[in-house]
Chains A and B, each alone.
Chain A
Amino acid sequence: MADDAIRAEVSERLTRAGENGVLRVITCGSVDDGKSTLIGRLLYDSKLLFEDQIKVLERDSRKHGTAGEEIDFALLLDGLEAEREQGITIDVAYRFFNTEKRKFIVADTPGHEQYTRNMATGASTADLAIILVDARKGVLTQTRRHTYIANMMGIRHAVLAVNKMDLVDHSRARFHEIVSEYLTIAEDLGFDTITPIPISARYGDNIFSRSDAMKWHDGPTLMEHLESVDTNTEKEAAYAFRFPVQWVNRPNLDFRGFSGTVASGAVAPGDDVVVAHSGKTAKISRVVTADEDLDTARAGEAVTLVLDREIDIARGDMLADPSQRPEVSDQFAAEILWMTEEEMLPGRSYLLKAGGQTSPVSVTTLKHKLNVNSFEKEPGKSLKLNEIGVCTLSTSRPIAFDPYKDQRETGSFILIDRFTNQTVGAGMIEFSLRRASNIHTHAMDVDKTRRADMKGQKPAVLWFTGLSGAGKSTISNLVERKLAEAGRHTYSLDGDNVRHGLNKDLGFTDVDRVENIRRIGEVSKLFVDAGLIVTCSFISPFRSERQMVRELVDEAEFIEIFVDAPLEVCMQRDPKGLYKKAQAGEIKNFTGFDSPYEAPENAEIHLKTGDMSAEDAAEAVIEALIERGFIG
């Protein structure tokens, strides 16, 4: 073949046409609905399979297949059923095929209720959902669930694929019956398009080619629809400009740019932009890529923006259209899907990650749970694996965001367990509960540094944790006395002065214990802001709560002091007679006795008070403070 002819043929075969390069699809349905057969059929008909794969498929079809002499396309995919038997995580698998018009990324997820989390994961990036229904069975509870989740995750295009039409004699009446039943569920949910298509995945009817048996179908084939569905006029492109800064690009003193991917809208040199958190503005001077400077950066493009003046911008900041700014708030309402075995408890502290922004967060209230089968609200106290609830959240730092229904990219977040580091929840923000900007923009003239300077010290929280009787109060009193003698300004918080006033409304349930520590943390933060060295003596048995306090103040300001004495020693000392009461059953949930104590893993100071005098322990703390530069 001549070079030109080759080039022409290559060009013709490759995926090029159209502006909609990639369509991300999720298939919803169970194995019984023919989901695997449909995906296998798409791979086969798009000529993506190699000869060796087809040979294996034909051999396996004869051996294990359920389609007689025909090829059983379901065998192309990993047997999710088999995995389930083996106890391996049932998961999202991604499949790929290209046609001349488009590249397709198919998220293949199991359909049963216990896999809601997997379906949500696949749906989070999908443009379109194929909701499979068995023509014989019609709309089922699981159809409602799949539709609900697809809609909740922000998918805008739904395809109702009525499969196995060959088993209902390709009946037009049956098809229309199913479609009208489906529309009563789905019509009001807010999909941009709902496209019903009668198919037979096994025989390929209305997949790539039109069905002879269903000439009455005047809509598109599945493939015609997938190739042409318009995602280009999506809300992302039309929405206001949003640019979460990923990375500050600073190769030398002459260049300072902000690298990231445009989440929505577009921006061009000369446009004004605002930094969402600080409210500072600048003009775009260049849109840099490695190929060339661009005239415009559009949604989905990874670029580096250069501004016309130096303003303070870091990872986690968001550049936005000044006339349509995102919300900036530390309190908001969101739908949360829970993704892990350990249930979500209001009051617990997690990490929230939204784009480049990461902040400690606690779920303040669970307003209600959502039943994905009936679409109804239900009351609840916690969220279990695969449950969805509407919650209010409170972050330590304000977050810039848009409502998820308007903008998936800047309206979503994940929740991370602070100790296992697992991703435990997925969140979709509904609306802000208050504007943090009102609180945060008034930077006061007299600030923490100034107040600390006046006292000639660096403020800190000395957090004494340990079992009852370990010696926390004794040591912290000695430390405070030594500091006072050296002319330092201090304040001490302990159970006696907190429980009787600030926290007298709290009991000893887990929820109340969390709240107790949270309030103490906030008060400590104010004292640190006042420039004081604060000593806190609390059993504080949970790591996550101590971590929560740590993150309220600056990293270096929190000194965790583990007052570590063996339980036997503490029980023997029993200064308040509490262990005796616990043994007698008069106190429940007593730490170390019938309630756990989670020892610090990386405490700044570790005092083994089993064989150390209180005086020596206090001296060790003072030395550590000198070493760390808190006192001279």
Chain B
Amino acid sequence: MTDIQSRIQNYAQRFTHGAKPRKRQLSPHLKALEAEAIHIMREVAAEFERPVMLYSIGKDSTVMLHLAMKAFFPSKPPFPFLHIDSLWEFQAMGEFRDALTEALGLDMIVWVNEEGKSREINPFTDGSALHTQVMRTEGLLQALNHGRYDAAFGGGRRDEEKSRAKERVFSFRNAAHAWDPRNQRPELWRTYNTRIRKGESIRVFPLSNWTEVDIWQYILEEDIPIVPLYFAGERPVVERDGTLIMVDDERMVFEDGETPEMRKIRFRTLGCYPLTGAVESQAETLDDIVLEMLTARTSERAGRLIDFDEAGSMEKKKREGYF
């Protein structure tokens, strides 16, 4: 068993019957954020027929999953989890997802856009925009239609990007999964309007009011396992247009003159390895990461290549159904 597998098994013990009580030392503001997220999840479980929770394997998603485990305890979360597999994610992510699924006994649906797979869509040759469109956005829509889900949880936060600052906690989508900024419902108090017609759906963002700092502090205080790629380690990388790309498998397409070199790097966000930039870092522990982040001088999305690409505005993606 690998380190991360045993770490996850250990973690899963917390949610078993008769587990040793954990004395909580959660900071007051995180306690408030946690209670809010749990409240939102319970509302969805009670009011929708077919909810699903998107799971991207990233840190925010893993925090959301952790909150779902807590919200329904001692029951299991009364909905499945859904991972849209682009086939180009870091190998460590798949390993993490599988270990977590098994240890917690989750209903995890892994969806691949088979049409994209057969077309052999490839971020190196097809570009990030097409790859993301086909394998993520289209894959997501396929999976949502296939499961006839009427509510889907996402880990989006309002502090991530300007266009998200006005996003509702319950974000209404029409039957084509599209987001219409003119047709969103006012949200007062903690009373969420969950009514939809057949075919329409709601995206739900329980982490709306969390910041990146809150997420990290919560991971620290709750001792939640995350994918090891968040921690610094010696890894093979190439530097391309100022971005460090990790060579994660044999499908890596090298450009002229590129040879992988070992550098001590870590990732601030996770996704498809050819599209995710690493940062050089010495942060090997959670405390190191939090400190590095507290003194960080570039914002989180700088590591996400898709935001810079041609078709890259978040707003456009949202209208098309991307989270």
Contact = CB atoms under 8 A, between A and B. Distances in A.
B107 interface: no
A163 interface: no
B190 to A, nearest CB: 7
A51 B298 contact: yes
Contact of A96 (B32, B38, B211): B211
Contacts of A92: 166, 186
A88 B191 CA distance: 24
Contacts, number: 186
A249 B29 contact: no
Contacts of A16: 27-28
Contacts of B69: 290
Given A98-B213, A261-B38, A291-B21, 5 more contacts: A10-B294, A94-B209, A105-B209, A356-B43, A412-B191
Interface of A: 3, 6-7, 9-10, 13-16, 18-22, 50-53, 78, 88-89, 91-96, 98, 102-103, 105, 108, 117-118, 120-121, 124-125, 246-247, 249-251, 255, 257, 259-261, 288-293, 300-302, 304, 315, 339, 351, 353-356, 408-409, 412-414, 416, 421-423, 426
A260 B34 CA distance: 13
Contact of A121 (B34, B71, B75, B187): B187
B319 interface: no
B146 interface: no
A22 B211 CA distance: 13
A95 B193 contact: no
Nearest to B159: A96
Contacts of A291: 21-24, 70
Contact of A426 (B184, B188, B190): B188
Contacts of B297: 50-52
Contact of A21 (B31, B71, B159): B31
Would you list the 8 A-B pairs with minimal beta carbon distance, nearest first? A21-B28, A21-B29, A292-B21, A290-B73, A51-B297, A290-B70, A103-B29, A302-B38
A302 B197 CA distance: 30
B42 A259 contact: yes
Contacts of B211: 96, 98, 103
Nearest to A292: B21
7 contacts: A3-B285, A6-B291, A20-B28, A51-B297, A117-B186, A261-B38, A414-B191
Interface string B81-98: 000000000000000000
Nearest to B70: A290
Contact of B291 (A10, A293, A355, A408): A10
Contact residues of A: prevailing secondary structure: mixed
Contacts of A95: 159, 165
Contacts of B263: none
Given A14-B213, A121-B186, A249 B290 contact: no
B72 A94 contact: no
Given A22-B29, A412-B191, A78 B162 contact: yes
Contacts of A247: 42, 45-46, 72
Contacts of A351: 195
Nearest to B163: A78
B185 interface: yes
B181 interface: yes
A89 B181 contact: yes
Contacts of A339: 186
Contacts of B165: 78, 93-95, 108
B282 to A, nearest CB: 10
A4 B28 CA distance: 23
B298 A246 contact: no
B186 A96 contact: no
B114 interface: no
Contact of A289 (B73, B181, B290): B73
A78 B190 CA distance: 25
A292 B188 contact: no
B141 interface: no
Given A105-B209, A292-B24, A6 B191 contact: no
A302 B29 contact: no
Contacts of A120: 188
Given A88-B181, A88-B182, A250-B75, A409 B189 contact: yes
Contacts of B217: 14-15
Contacts of A96: 158-159, 209, 211
A353 B72 CA distance: 23
Contacts of A353: 191, 193
Interface in B76-122: 76
A152 to B, nearest CB: 12
A50 B196 contact: no
Given A14-B217, A15-B217, A302-B34, A249 B46 contact: no
Contacts of A7: 287
Interface centre among A52, A250, A351, A414 (most CB of B within 10 A): A414
Interface in B166-189: 166, 181-182, 184-189
A121 B192 CA distance: 12
B15 interface: yes
Contacts of B181: 88-89
A534 to B, nearest CB: 29
A354 B195 CA distance: 14
Contacts of A259: 42, 71-72
